[in-house]
Amino acid sequence: MTTYLAKPDNLVMRQTKTEAVKFGVIGYGYWGPNVVRNLDQLDGSRVVAVSDQSSAALKRAAKAYPHVLVSPDSADVISSAEIDAVAIVTPVWTHHELTKAALENGKHVFVEKPFTSNAAQAEELINLAARKNLKIMVDHTFLFTGAVRKIRQLLNEGVLGDVYYYDSTRVNLGLFQHDINVIWDLAPHDLSIIDNVIKEEPEAISATGQTHLNGHEDIAFITVYFPNKVIAHINVNWISPVKVRTTLIGGEKKMLVWNDLEVDEKLKIYDKGVDVKSQEGVYSRLVSYRSGDMWAPKVEQVEALKVELSYFIECITGNTDPFNDGHAGLKVVRMLEAANQSLSKRGEVVYL
């Protein structure tokens, strides 16, 4: 049975946003309110309905957005003729079923990371969206941060030279997830970033980790192997006493440190490195260490989710495919699956 806790009454907003893409949002827990807030504020979109199985969540949504329909039944959002696109902000095990239902009902889909629980589900959704000419965007929010956009620019312009390694530490105390391990919770961020900024395609993965508290690994170390000796390492942990969000990218010409907890100088580029020269006719190698200047490039201060949702609206209205589409989501899911497989064999290398 459908219960509507609030009805549309904000006619002023409806009149000023007549051309807007109309959204339904499923899931109003921790992250859902951020999605609703941005879609409500953007000129190109309007939130028509919010669904959540929790009555407490629905009450919060109805209080914050009295003009929006709220319902405990996601089918009300998915089948509504008034809605063009659905944002799915629920736990990963629900993503496949909800995305499939939304696509079958002719809706474009913005779905949270990780895209699905396995690669077969992702492939099915990609094919369904293609058949129906609908868009899927997977919320890889970090790709829209000023820091990652600057990193991509620096790498594309060759400022760092050829990449040697990407080494990320993403640790904090909690938030424990009940349905997935720490890899599926935190590593999608780094896996989507490396897929986006490293030109080579990953070849293999190895992962180790341990379960201490609730039956899911709460600490893990993932290594991703790429061609041309590029290597990535990701340290994810829910039982760290301090929050750390630090990534090092070592390049042939320069080295970069990204501290995402810094407010002003998130990125620092170091003109440091090692030059190795072989002398003709001499077997010994000459190694010299370079230690030059450090500089902090300007990083745009934007709410990444706002930029991303605005881009999704452009993709829908302009009928273009987002770069963070189902295929990008599938690549991350494949790496997550390989990491889990390796984890169960104490770090055995799994080829992609």
Ligand X SMILES: NC(=O)c1ccc[n+]([C@@H]2O[C@H](COP(=O)([O-])OP(=O)(O)OC[C@H]3O[C@@H](n4cnc5c(N)ncnc54)[C@H](O)[C@@H]3O)[C@@H](O)[C@H]2O)c1
When asked if residue 94 is in the footprint of ligand X (CB under 6 A), the reply is yes
When asked if residue 106 is in the footprint of ligand X (CB under 6 A), the reply is no
Q: Which is nearer to ligand X, 17 or 170 (CB)?
A: 170
When asked if residue 89 is in the footprint of ligand X (CB under 6 A), the reply is yes
Q: Which region, judged by CB under 6 A, interacts with ligand X, from 88-96, 221-229, 252-260, 327-335?
A: 88-96
When asked if residue 51 is in the footprint of ligand X (CB under 6 A), the reply is yes
- Per-position x/- string for 28-47, each x denoting binding to ligand X as judged by CB under 6 A, each - no binding: xxxxx---------------
Q: Which region, judged by CB under 6 A, interacts with ligand X, from 48-56, 78-86, 118-126, 284-292?
A: 48-56
Q: Which residue has the CB atom at the shortest distance from ligand X?
A: 29
- Extract the tokens encoding 147: 């820091």
When asked if residue 183 is in the footprint of ligand X (CB under 6 A), the reply is no
Q: Which is nearer to ligand X, 27 or 202 (CB)?
A: 27
Q: Are 183 and 347 in contact, with CB atoms under 8 Å apart?
A: no
- SS3 string, the chain, reads CCCCCCCCCCHHHHHHCCCCEEEEEECCCCCHHHHHHHHHHCCCEEEEEEECCCHHHHHHHHHHCCCCEEECCHHHHHCCCCCCEEEECCCHHHHHHHHHHHHHCCCEEEEECCCCCCHHHHHHHHHHHHHHCCCEEEECHHHHCHHHHHHHHHHHCCCCCCEEEEEEEEEEECCCCCCCCHHHHHHHHHHHHHHHHCCCCCCEEEEEEECCCCCCCCEEEEEEECCCCCEEEEEEECEEEEEEEEEEEEECCCEEEEECCCCCCCEEEEEEEEEEEECCCCCCEEEEEEEEEEECCCCCCCCHHHHHHHHHHHHHHHCCCCCCCHHHHHHHHHHHHHHHHHHCCCCCCEEC
When asked if residue 236 is in the footprint of ligand X (CB under 6 A), the reply is no
Among 5, 8, 53, 172, binds ligand X (CB under 6 A): 53
When asked if residue 3 is in the footprint of ligand X (CB under 6 A), the reply is no
Closest CA to 347 of 212, 223, 180: 223
Q: Which is nearer to ligand X, 45 or 74 (CB)?
A: 74
To the nearest whole angstrom, how small is the minimum distance from the Cβ of residue 133 to ligand X?
26
Residue 66 neighbours by CB distance under 10 Å: 14
When asked if residue 2 is in the footprint of ligand X (CB under 6 A), the reply is no
When asked if residue 52 is in the footprint of ligand X (CB under 6 A), the reply is yes
When asked if residue 90 is in the footprint of ligand X (CB under 6 A), the reply is yes
Q: Which is nearer to ligand X, 86 or 89 (CB)?
A: 89
When asked if residue 192 is in the footprint of ligand X (CB under 6 A), the reply is no
When asked if residue 322 is in the footprint of ligand X (CB under 6 A), the reply is no
To the nearest whole angstrom, how small is the minimum distance from the Cβ of residue 348 to ligand X?
27
When asked if residue 141 is in the footprint of ligand X (CB under 6 A), the reply is yes
To the nearest whole angstrom, how small is the minimum distance from the Cβ of residue 50 to ligand X?
9
Q: Which residues bind ligand X (CB under 6 A)?
A: 26-32, 51-54, 57, 74, 89-92, 94, 112-113, 139, 141
